[in-house]
Amino acid sequence: MQYVRNGLWMRRRWLVVALAVFYFAVVFGGASLKHDYSHISQYISELNASGSAWGWQIGYFGFLPLGLLGFVLLLVVRPGTRLGGTSGIGYWLLIGEPIAYAASAFAPCDLGCPGEGSLSQNIHNAVSVITLLMTTSGLILLSFNETLSQGKRIGWLVLAATFIGLYGLALMPELDPVRGLLQRLAEGILYGSLWILSWRLLSNGRSDS
């Protein structure tokens, strides 16, 4: 019976690979469909900006399923984390990331993703701010996991600071020429870390990291 359970955990880990591959397919594949799109200066949200080429297709067939896949991964990994209390709340706050991607399909930004704009843009901005706060808070609360070593608890705090710091820089007007790069660094570091941890948890079927 233990062998069967371990086999199920091992098979579920491929969900991590599927999510990672699909993420890159949406971001870079979607960009390849758009003329003059820049990964350096444009937000990922601009891939499905209202009125842009392939906008709604990238939103409904890219961002929406990407968000759903992220949500499923959170559900699948959760039993192996053995988190509770404050750190358990932190784990579920990470749900803001998949929600933001899924919501982008229904509330795309305007062209250029301005600070203010249409109703859709304003909803998009509100969801983005809430997501940033949820994700950063979630990472901080994960550091409250007393079963982790001091170094690993500090690691969660460093990840939180790096994530919100890079996003904060991306929102600065004077850094508009590289805002896309800063956003990709923020997401790459965050998602890469979470994917690696998810793979380990689904491989072991227990939380030892």
Q: What DSSP line would sit under 23-87, residue for residue?
A: HHIIIIIHHHTSTT--TTTS-GGGGG-TTSTTHHHHIIIIIHHHHHHHHHHHHHHHHHH---HHH
Render pLDDT for 95-109 as a digit per residue (tens, 0 to 9): 999 999 999 999 999
pTM of the model: 0.90
Confidence at residue 203, expressed as pLDDT on a 0 to 100 scale: 85
Q: How far apart are CA 110 and CA 123, in angstroms?
A: 11
Q: How far apart are CA 71 and CA 202, in angstroms?
A: 15
Which one-letter amino acid corresponds to residue 96?
G
Q: How far apart are CA 32 and CA 108, in angstroms?
A: 19
Q: How far apart are CA 110 and CA 87, in angstroms?
A: 36
Give the H/E segment covering residue 111. Answer: none
Render pLDDT for 157-203 as a digit per residue (tens, 0 to 9): 999 999 999 999 999 999 999 999 999 999 999 999 999 999 999 98
Q: How far apart are CA 138 and CA 151, in angstroms?
A: 18
CA distances from 27 to 43, 79, 118, 121 (A): 10, 30, 24, 20
- Closest by CA to 131, choosing from 162, 169, 159, 104, is 104
Q: How far apart are CA 100 and CA 41, in angstroms?
A: 20
Under the banding of pLDDT at 50, 70 and 90, the label for residue 4 is: very low
Give the H/E segment covering residue 118. Answer: none
Q: How far apart are CA 203 and CA 85, in angstroms?
A: 24
Render pLDDT for 134-144 as a digit per residue (tens, 0 to 9): 999 999 999 99
Which one-letter amino acid corresponds to residue 39?
H
Residue 119 structure tokens: 């109703």
User: What is the DSSP-derived secondary structure letter of residue 108?
Assistant: P
Inform me whether the pLDDT recorded for 7 exceeds 70. no
